[in-house]
Amino acid sequence: MEANTTLQAENASLRKDIDRLKADLETVRSDFAVLGRDAAAAARSGAAEAKQRIMEGAKAAAAKGKQSLDAVEGEIVEHPLLAVGVALAVGVLVGVAVGRRR
């Protein structure tokens, strides 16, 4: 009888331990789910910030390119003969360089 009582007590203790383990595993699962959602949100936020920085950089580069183009156009308007001479010289240099490659 005493062995039966001891066995029942150990069985009850084991069930309690299993129930606690189940509860702990559920807590871990829940924590991982929250961690996954937080990581995904952080990744989305980081991607949005990176996209914003890229867009700002592209806008700045476009503005600088427009300024450079306007400056070149201004120089061409002010000195049209010089612009034609420079274009001719560049064309000759490119022609010579291409001719040497063959």
pLDDT in tens, 13-50: 888 888 888 888 888 888 888 888 888 888 888 888 88
DSSP-H helix ranges across the chain: 2-78, 80-101
For 86, other C-beta atoms within 10 Å of its C-beta total 13
pLDDT in tens, 66-75: 998 888 888 8
What's the predicted TM-score (pTM) here?
0.45
Domain of 37, in residue numbers: 2-101
Please write down the long-range contacts of 30-34, taking CB distance under 8 Å and 24 or more positions apart.
Answer: none
Residue in the structure block whose two tokens are 């390119």? 65
* Distance of alpha carbon 42 from alpha carbon 35, whole angstroms: 10
The domain total for the chain is 1
